[in-house]
Each structure stands twice: as structure tokens, then as C-alpha cells.
Amino acid sequence: MRRSRKSALIYIVLSLFFVTNIFSQDTLLLEDAIRMGLENSYSIQIAQNNSSIAKNNNTIGNAGYLPNVDFGVNQGSSYQDRYQRDADETSSSISMYPTHNLTSAIQLNWTVFDGMAMFIRKEKLQLFQEQSDLYLRMEVENTIADIVYTYYNIALNRKLYDSYQERLSLSQQRLVVAREKSLIGVGYELQELQAEVDFRADSAQYVSQRSRLINLKADMNRLLRRNPDEQFQVSPTIPLPNHIEAADIYKRVSENNPAMLDARLRAEVGDLEHDEAKSARYPRVNLSGAYNFSRTGTPDAQ
């Protein structure tokens, strides 16, 4: 019994030593964490590409303003064996006699009026571009928010970890004192057992907090696209939020919240799609023109 208790104490002391080495790492500043997160985020890179695609698609040509011009050229040759017999009983034959064909055509189609659908499509393309820019902003804001929340959560849990570590050290000292008193006969075994129960409870709480802190650091490394096992420290200072009136918060949310802005854009797109469907009721005015060229020739007979 005494030996098992002594082994438990040695295990806790060694655990404290190794954990101290684990957490004695370089300090990661919040600014550096945000910079790395924004540079390495795959979601932001995808949102940037989608924003560029939407910008390139927002043209008058994709909306249907410009005419369509089709042009084609076709050239071919055919070869025949020819036999010719004249009235004077003379004959001639030609092997692989060629015939050359050349055709070309150009056609223009232009929709002059389609019930205002082309103007509606241009507005939709503009809204799609604004939506893509808004999604990029949302990805940036969400990435920053996740990094800031995780960073200060690590700082808070590190303070709790230090508190539990100090509490465990005090419990260990009380247990040692209780055992010494029991050995020299000035204490009771019940006191020693109670001190051991408190020590084990504090040990379990300490180990749980240690695991929680390690998991939070792994989450931060995941946000920064780094090795999950990479060790670092954070600044222990947690800033206090500024006082803001509730009315000011509601106003800022209604004007700047990305989710609300996205809902408004979706509503506008829905209205434009309704108007685009109604444009089919109106007549269409198209202009079209074409030019065709064809030539067939054979070489002069020898």
C-alpha cells in the first residue's frame, strides 16, 4: 500500500516535469496567428477563386448584349479516274483527276429586344459578383473569429491549468504532512486517507485540464494549417471588451452582418429571376445576316 502510494507520487512529479517542458515554448502572437491563418486557409483560397470567376463572368457579353458571329471555312478535294472518247474515235484517260472545293460562311445573329431579359441578366451577374465578394468576406471574418476565440480560450485554460497545478502541489504537500504525522503517531489514518482522496481528485482535474489545453493547441494548429503537435505559448493577457450600447449593436448587425447581407442579395436575385421569367411574355426582335461563298475548280487539262 505504501509502495503504491509512493509510486503514484513519483508519477505525478514526473508528469509535472514533462508537462513543464512541453509548455515552455515560444510565444505565438495573435497578429502572427491571424496572418498565418489567412495565408494558409483553403476556404479563403477557394472563396478568392470563386470571386475572381464571378468577376470575369460579369460582362455584357454573358448578359446577351452583344451579337453572335459564327464563321466557318471548309476545304476539300476529291480524286477520280476519267475516261473520254471523242467523236473522231480518239480516246483519252486520266488517273486520279482532282476536284477542289472551297466553302465559307459567316453569320450574324443579334437580339435587339428580348423583353428586357438581357438587362435583368446583367443585374443578376452583378449580384452574383457581390455575393462572391461577400462569401470571401465571410470566410475571412470566420477564420479570424475562430483564431481569436481559440487563442484567448487557450490563454484562459492556461490560467486554469496553472491554478490546478498549484492546487495539486498543495494537495501533495498536505498528503506528505498527513503521512508523516501518521508515521510518528500524532495524526489519524482517516486524515491521511482524506488527504489522499483530495490528492487523487486534484490529480484527475489537473490531468483533464492538461488534455483540454493540448486539444485547444491542436485546434489552433489546425486553423493555422500547421503540425498538430507543434508546441507554442500564447500571451496570457485577455483584453476586456469595450462598452457598446445595445442599440448600436443592433444597428451594426442590421447594416454589416454578412448573413443578413447575403439574405438581402438572395431576395434581390429571386426578384430578378421572377422578372426574367415574365420577360418571356414580350416579343423578341432579332437581327440576322449571313454571307456564303463557294468555289469548285479543277486543274486545266494537259
pLDDT tens-place string over residues 256-266: 888 899 999 99
Crossing angle of helices 30-40 and 117-184, in 10° steps, is 130
Q: Which of 144, 289, 137, 160 is nearest to 224 (CA)?
A: 144
Q: How much is the average pLDDT of 67-85?
A: 82
Residue 258 burial by Cβ neighbours in a 10 Å radius (0-12, 13-18, 19+): middle
Cell reading at 5: 502510494
pLDDT at 80: 75
Cell reading at 280: 418571356
Confirm if 261 and 141 have CB atoms less than 8 A apart.
Answer: no
Compute and round to an integer the Cα radius of gyration of the chain. 41
Residue position matching grid coordinates 487563442: 151
Q: How far apart are CA 133 and CA 138, in angstroms?
A: 9
pLDDT at 25: 63
In Å, how far are 16, 194, 199, 256, 260 from 52, measured between CA atoms? Answer: 52, 67, 60, 23, 23
Which range is least confidently modeled, 110-124, 158-172, 229-243, 267-281?
229-243
Tell me: pLDDT of 9 over 60: no
Buried b (16+ CB within 10 A) or exposed e, 63-95: bbeeeeeeeeeeeeeeeeeeeeeeeeeeeeeee
Tell whether pTM > 0.85: no
| Residue 245 or residue 292, greater confidence | 292
Q: How much is the average pLDDT of 201-217?
A: 94
